[in-house]
Every structure is written in C-alpha cells, then in structure tokens.
Amino acid sequence: MSTPHISAKPGDFAETVLMPGDPLRAKYIAENFLEDARQVTDVRNMFGFTGTYNGKPVSIMGSGMGIPSMSIYARELIVSFGVKNLIRIGTCGGISQDIKIRDVIFAQGASTDSNVNRARVRGYDFAAISDFGLLENGVNAARRLGIDAKIGNVFTTDTFYQADSEFYKELDKLGVMAVDMETAGLYGVAAEYGAKAMALFTVSDHVITGEATPPEERQSTFNEMVKIALESI
Ligand SMILES: O=P(O)(O)O[C@H]1O[C@H](CO)[C@@H](O)[C@H]1O
Ligand SMILES: O=c1cc[nH]c(=O)[nH]1
C-alpha cells in the first residue's frame, strides 16, 4: 500500500517513528542504534527504516525541511501506515540567552509564522503542543541519562534566513527558547489525525550570539538526543 511519497507495505512501520530532518541521519541512526534494521521506503531518497531498540519495534524516517515536507510524511505515516507516535529529533537555533549550543531542548509548545495551524481552526489561534505522555517519557529518559534538558516554547519558522534579526530578540523576551522549521506543523498534523507527537532538538547554533557547534562535535551531541528519544520509548 504505497502513498504518493512512501513506498512500503502495511506493517512496515512501527507504531513509533523518530523523524530527523535529514534522511541520511535516519540511515545513520538505523545503522548505529537499531538491531535488525531494514529499509522500508526510499521514495525521493527520503529513507525510512524499521528495526528494534532494546527489543521494542521502532522506525526512523527523514521528514525533510520545513512544515510542508514534514506535514506530508507525518500525515501519510499516520493515515496510511497506522503510526501512533511521531517524535521529531532535529537541530535548532538557540534564541534564549539561557540556551547554549549543544543543549538538548524539548518543545513543549511551538509558536509559528506559518498559517497552517490557523487554517485548521477557521483563522483562530491553535496551541500547538506536545503530547504530555511522550514529553514526560522523554524528559524522564534525559534525567536517567544525566542530561540537563530544557523544556519550553520554540518558534517554527518558514524562513531559515530571517531578514529581521531584531525579531529573535523579541521572541527571547517572550521566553521562546529556540527556532526550528517543522515542529508547529508536526503538532498540528498529529492533532488533526489523532496521533501523538513530540519534538526534541540539539542546539546547533545560536541565532543571536552567532555561536555554532564545530562540525566535529555535531555528531556526538546529536547522538545524545537520539539516545534520549530511543530510551523514552
Ligand atoms: O536538523 P533538522 O531536523 O533538519 O532541523 C533544522 O535544520 C533545518 C535547517 O537547516 C531545518 O529542517 C530545521 O528545522
Ligand atoms: O531551523 C533552524 C535550525 C538551526 N538553526 C537555525 O537558525 N534554524
């Protein structure tokens, strides 16, 4: 049973899917963290894999960048493949002064400059929030692993190259911790189709201070986040 963007059979995906933006990161996780991993889809090179972690079935699939791409894959996974839990594992830009590069952040909620969630509620505001159970499991897993993760509001933007840098300072005053490009859309799709969603990130750069993770360190901080996500299942 294929969809326009996923070529897989019924039962190919586990009930829980971890979604990095980059399909090559999905491949890396499958090869380095899962047992008995097999590739289940490769349409447009948006790779998806299913295997087990500590004996529990889990899938990993890329989401691509931005709300439209994430929304297509999330909707098809839920509606056509019976996926129940979608966990975004991404990178983000730090906004808050309290946030440092390499920190792990949980998106309790996601504000956005996108119109997709307003379109779901006749133009009104929609509070794009994480599923509480997935968030609680994730935070508990981070604590067990001794990782001091931050939890709060993030901003999902359609514009990676933000022209008005003052805007991030205004978000900082409102307590917004970080910026990404998918989470508000993921939370909206999950709500619309009756699935659970949660997002966590590693901070790859800071959009106000300009600090960035050295390339050689990116993999190890990314690994910490993957471990938290897998241990939370
Ligand atoms: O590392 P990923 O998960 O792709 O996340 C972040 O990186 C991309 C931008 O470089 C956007 O997708 C943003 O949300
Ligand atoms: O979406 C993102 C991700 C990392 N850094 C940014 O500035 N934006």
List, for residues 12-31, the tens digit of each pLDDT value: 999 999 999 999 999 999 99
111, part of any domain: yes
Q: Which residue has the tokens 């299913």?
A: 50
Tell me the three state secondary structure of residue 191: helix
10, part of any domain: no
What's the one-letter identity of residue 106? Answer: F
List pLDDT tens digits, range 140-196.
Answer: 999 999 999 999 999 999 999 999 989 999 999 999 999 999 999 999 999 999 999
Cβ partners under 8 Å of residue 200, min gap 6: 87, 88, 89, 90, 104, 105, 106, 107, 138, 149, 225, 228, 229
Could you tell me if 213 and 104 are in contact, meaning their C-beta atoms sit under 8 angstroms apart?
Answer: no
127, part of any domain: yes
**Ligand 1 pocket: which residues have CB below 6 Å?**
20-22, 65, 90-91, 160, 180-182
5, part of any domain: no
CA–centroid distance, 225 to ligand 2, in Å, is: 16
List pLDDT tens digits, range 114-152.
Answer: 999 999 999 999 999 999 999 999 999 999 999 999 999
**Catalytic choice (22, 42, 158, 205):** 205
The total of structural domains in the chain comes to: 1
Q: Is residue 59 predicted with pLDDT exceeding 90?
A: yes
Could you tell me if 180 and 92 are in contact, meaning their C-beta atoms sit under 8 angstroms apart?
Answer: yes
Is the C-alpha dihedral spanning 129, 230, 151, 62 positive or negative? negative
CATH code assigned at 48: 3.40.50.1580
Confidence class for position 85, pLDDT limits 50, 70, 90: very high
CA distance 86 to 190: 8
Residue 11 has what pLDDT?
A: 97
9, part of any domain: no
Could you tell which of 17, 65, 160, 177 is best to mutate to test the pocket of ligand 1, judged by most ligand atoms within 8 Å of the CB?
A: 65
List pLDDT tens digits, range 210-233.
Answer: 999 887 777 777 899 999 999 999
| Catalytic residue check, 113 | no
Q: Which residue has the tokens 């289940």?
A: 40
Tell me the three state secondary structure of residue 5: coil
**Ligand 2 pocket: which residues have CB below 6 Å?**
91-93, 160, 179-181, 204-205, 207
11, part of any domain: no
| Count of beta carbons in the 10 Å neighbourhood of residue 39 | 14
CA distance 92 to 154: 9
Residue 188 has what pLDDT?
A: 98
CA–centroid distance, 174 to ligand 1, in Å, is: 23
83, part of any domain: yes
- For 197, the domain range is 16-231
Number of alpha carbons in the 13 Å side-chain half-sphere of residue 173: 4
Whose atoms come closest to the Cα of 18: which ligand?
1
